[in-house]
Amino acid sequence: MNASIETSSQNQRIAVILLIFTIAFIDLVGNLAVFLFATTVKTLQNSFGRLSASQSFAEAILCAVFMCFYCPMVVFEQNTRILIFIAYAIPCFTSIYMHLANHCLLPYVDFGWYFGVNTSASCDVIRFYVDFCKDFGVVSLIAIVDVSTMIMIKVTASRMNSTSSNSLQSQKHRDREIAFVKQCIIQGGVFAAELISFFIISGMQTNPVGIFICTTVAWCSVHSIDPYVLIFLNSELRNMLKKNPIGMTLPKSRKLPPGPITLPLIGNIPQIVYYSWKNNGIVPAFEYFRKKYGNVFTLWLGPFPHVSIADFETNHEVFVKNGNRYKDRFLSPIFEELQDDHGLVFANGEKWAELRKFTMVTFRNMGVRNETMEEKIMEELDARCADLDNEAIDGKTVVEHGKLFELMVGSVINSLLVGKRFGEDNKEEFLHIRHLIETFNEVFTTFDMIMPVWVLKTFFPTRYAIAADGMNTIKDYVGRVAEKRFEEVKSGKYVLEETNPKDYVDAFLIKMQKEKDHPAYTMKSLKYVLLDLWSAGHDTTATTLISGFNQFMHHPEVTSDAPTKVNGYELDAGEILTAQMSALHVNEDIFKHAGEFMPERFLENEKLIHQLIPFGIGKRSCVGENLARAELFLVFGNLLLRYNIQPHGKLPSTADQHPFSAVKIADTSAKLEFIKI
C-alpha cells in the first residue's frame, strides 16, 4: 500500500515538473524575444516599448526562477533554506526583504505544490499584500492606459478621417492605436483573471490540485501569455522576429542538414553540454553527432546555425571548388563592431581579401625568395639550443618544455613580424604580451560573443568596456613597434628597402606608400593584422609542439628512428570551424585507431597526409600555414637530431587538459631532460 502511494506521489511530482517547466520555458522564450528586440522596432521606440522591454526582462527572470528553482524543488521532501535563498531570493528583491527582515521562508510546500509564504500568520499578511498590490497596480495601470488611449482615438478620429491627402498614413496610425488598445485590453483582462484566480478562487479550494492550478499554473500562464500578446498584435515586431536568427530556429523555417532537436533561442547548447559531459570532451561529442547524423550535420549555437562538415571530400568540394561562395564567415557582434572589418580573423569583404592575399604573398616571399622564414626559425632554434647547452649539468638540462616552446614560437613570430626576437634581455616583453592575451581570454566569454552589442552597452556596460579596452590594449602594445617605425619612416630616420623588406611590417609600410588611397593599407589595419597573426599563430603551434613531445615521451620507440620518419609527417592540430576538423580527424573511417599515436600511418598510406587538414581548407585556411609547417618540421627534426629527450619525473599527460574547451590545451606542467647527443 505504501509503495503504491509513493509511486502515485512520484508520478504527480513528475507531472508538476513537466507542466510548470514547459509553461515557464515558453514564457522565457517570449519574454526574451520582446526584451531583446522590442525597442529595435520603429513602432515601439517610445515609452511603451521601453516599458514592455523592461517588464519582459523582469518576467524572464521570474520564469527562469520557476524553471531552475521551483521544478527541482518539487522532488525534494523537505524545505532547503540555502537553495531557496540562493535560487529565489536573489532575483526577487521582495523575497530578500521578507527572508532577511521577517524570517519568512519561501519553500516548496510539500502537500500543495505551490509557492507560498510559510510558517506564520504575519508572513501570510506580508505575502498577500505585496502580491495583491503588485497585481492590482498592474491591472489599474493597464486600465488607465486603455481608457486614455480610447479617449485619444475618439478625439482625433474625426481629424484623421477628414485628412484626405494623408489618409493612408492616418489609417496606419489609427490601426497602430487600435492594436495598442487591443493589446492593453487583453493584457488587462489576463492580469485581472490571474488576480481573481490567485487571491479569490484559490482561497475557496481545499484540494491541493485545485490550489496548484489556481496559483502556480495561473501565475505562470499569465506571464507566458503576456509577451505573445505583444508579438501577435505588432506585425512589425512579428515580421522582424521571423527574419531574425530567433525566427530561423523554428524547425520548418530553413532547410538544413539533420541534427538534434532545436530549441528556440538556446539552440542545441543543452545537447552539446550533455554529450560533452557524457563522452568526456567536446571532440567525442562532435564525433557522436557525426555518427548519429552523418558527415554533414547542423548544430545551433544559440540562435545561430552551425553546419559541420566532417569528411575530407565534402570539405574539398565546398571550400576549395566552391570557395568563393563560402569565403565569408559569421562574425561575433562585438568583434564586428570593435574591429570594423580590419584584420584577418574577424573580417569579411574586399579589405579582408586584399589583406589575406598580401599576407600570403609576403610570407611566401620570405620563405622562398630570401629564405628569411627558415633563417629566422633556425636562428631562434640555435639560440634556444645554446641556452640549453649553457645550462646543462653533466650534459643534461632539465626544463619545463611548455615555457620553452611558448617562448620559442613567440620569438619566431615576433622576429618575422617586427624583426625582433625575444632574448634574455627582453623576455619580459613576451611575458607581458602573453599576460595581456591570457587576461583578456579569462574575462571574455561566450556570453560576450553572442550577445547583441546594444544589449552589452545598455545592460552590461562594464563587460563591454572590459572587452573593448582589453582588445585595444593588446592591439596597441603589439603594434607599438610598427607605429614607431612608421613615424621614423616619415621623419627619414628609417629607410625601407623596397626590394628586400626585413620583416612583415617593412613589407606592409612599403605597400602603404604604394597604395596610399587603398582602405586596406592603414595603420589601424596593420595593428589588427599583427594582433591576429600574433594571437592565432602562437598558441596553435606551441600547443602542437608540446603535444608532440608529450606523445614522444610515451612512445620512445618512435623517437629512436624519427630522423628517417619525420620527413613529411604532420601532427594533428585542428580547430573547430564549419569544416569540422575535430570530428574529421577522429573519423575511424579515415584514420583507423584515430585515438592512438601512430605516425607511421602516414608513411603506410600517403593519401592520409592529404586528408589531414589541421590548418583548415579553402579561402579561410590558416594564412600562416607555411610558417607553422616550417616551425614544426625544423623544431621537431632538429631537436630530435641534437638531443636525447627524456621525461624528468612523471610522464606528461597526453590527454586534453580541458576537454570541454573549444581549443586543445596540452599538459605544460611536466619537465623534460635534454641530453646533448
Asked if 260 and 289 touch (Cβ cutoff 8 Å), the reply is yes
> Can you give the three-state secondary structure of 582-636, one letter per residue?
HHHCCCCCCCCCCCCCCCCHHHHCCHHHHHCCCCCCHHHCCCCHHHHHHHHHHHH
> Can you give the three-state secondary structure of 524-586, one letter per residue?
HHHHHHHHHHHHHHHHHHHHHHHHHHHHHHHCHHHHHCHHHHCCCCCCCCCCECCEEHHHHCC
Amino acid identity of residue 31, one-letter, is N
Widest Cα–Cα separation across the chain:
103
Query: Residue 199: which residues within 8 A CB-CB, separation 6 or more?
Result: 128, 131, 132, 135
Q: Looking at the DSSP assignment, which residues form a beta bridge with residue 643?
A: 676
Report the alpha-carbon distance of residue 518 to residue 635 in Å, rounded: 38
Nearest-CA neighbor of 115 among 31, 218, 22? Answer: 218
Report the alpha-carbon distance of residue 478 to residue 434 in Å, rounded: 11
Report the alpha-carbon distance of residue 529 to residue 415 in Å, rounded: 15
Nearest-CA neighbor of 209 among 114, 124, 107? Answer: 114
Asked if 265 and 244 touch (Cβ cutoff 8 Å), the reply is no
Provide long-range contacts, Cβ within 8 A and 24+ apart, for 211-214.
211/112, 211/113, 211/114, 212/16, 212/112, 212/113, 212/114
Q: Which cell is 388 given?
A: 640549453
Report the alpha-carbon distance of residue 396 to residue 675 in Å, rounded: 5
Q: Where is 174: in which H helix or E strand?
A: helix 167-196
**650: three-class secondary structure by DSSP:** coil
Q: Kindly write down the DSSP assignment for every residue of 231-273, as one continuous string.
A: HHH-HHHHHHHHHSHHHHTSTTSS-----SPPBTTTBTHHHHH
Q: Which cell is 435 given?
A: 599576460
622 marked as part of a ligand binding site:
yes
Q: Which residues are annotated as a binding site?
A: 622
Q: Which residues are annotated as a binding site for heme?
A: 622
